[in-house]
Copies of this chain bind each other. A is one copy, B any other.
Amino acid sequence: MTSAKQILHTSETRFRARYSETDKMGVIYYANYLVWMEMGRTDYCKSVGFDYRDMELDGANMAVAEATCRYITPARYDDEILVRTQVERLNRRLITFTYVVSNDQTGTVLAEGRTVHIAMGNDGKSRSIPQRYVQLMKAAALSS
């Protein structure tokens, strides 16, 4: 028996924490973790074979319906950050991503997050995700 967690396709995003992302407490400001999650989503799409900007050009935007972040250890300026991104749930109208943000040098987990997205057309109305993108994401999940 294999656990569901093990077989999920995971993308990895690496970068250094920016000075602009710090706050007067000396650590990374909490809203920036949502920016980092968005970078994780961009790379997740690339890792399964498409560019998110092409999906937008096809008239499908992934509007965020919900975002959650649990802050475990503060990140600091110039830390090497690793964001691991997975798709937890996927259908034609909705995608749920999960994220683990860690310090890439020490391995320390900094934060864990989840975002739920609903496909929206350029008119702001909900629509279904174009079949091509759903298939690429499902294929990646199965091949992992």
Which A positions have Cβ atoms within 8 angstroms of B?
15-16, 18-20, 22-27, 29-32, 34-35, 38-39, 42, 51-53, 56, 61, 63-71, 74, 76-78, 124
Contact = CB atoms under 8 A, between A and B. Distances in A.
A42 B66 contact: no
Contacts of A35: 18, 20, 31
A68 B71 contact: no
A36 to B, nearest CB: 9
Contact of A53 (B29, B51, B67, B78): B78
A24 B56 CA distance: 10
Q: So how many copies of this chain end up in the complex? A: 4
A27 B64 CA distance: 11
B24 A22 contact: yes
Given A31-B31, A51-B78, A67 B68 contact: yes
Given A53-B78, A67-B71, 16 more contacts: A18-B38, A19-B38, A20-B31, A22-B23, A23-B23, A24-B26, A24-B77, A31-B34, A31-B38, A63-B74, A64-B71, A65-B71, A66-B70, A66-B71, A68-B68, A74-B124
Nearest to A13: B16
